[in-house]
Amino acid sequence: MSVRGINHITIVVRDMARTVRLFVDALDAVEVYRSAEKEYSKYPEVFLRLGDAWLVVMQDPDVQRLQSYDHVALSVDADRIDEIRERLRNAGAGVVPSRPRIAAEGASIYFYDFDNHLFELHAGDLGERLRHYSTGK
């Protein structure tokens, strides 16, 4: 197959420093690059590592984004769901109720960042979901 996986995710935000703090403080992201005065891209940028994921946060003070259900889902351990939810709330993220779920889907936390990007922190995987769906229950 030509596509092996997601390479990176880029979000454009009004206040890069504030958004970076959210991911570092609440989700233990590690900053691995900051463009500073060198701009190789369209906007100033910070690269974050979230587990195996590479998140690029770019700054455009004029960006406007409406809330939608389009989202990025990141994997988390089920036993850390409550702790992570509290850390997100303490960091000022807009934690929202999860959609109705069946237990086989795994737990999730949904949150909006400060620019209306929706993220899901999910404690299940595709194999588990497909096994459950195949039973027809």
List active site positions: 45
- 73 near 122, Cβ under 8 Å? yes
Looking at residue 43, the DSSP 8-state letter turns out to be S
d(CA 117, CA 9): 12
CA distance 22 to 19: 5
Tokens representing 20?
């970076």
CA distance 128 to 56: 29
Question: What is the SS3 assignment for 88?
Answer: helix
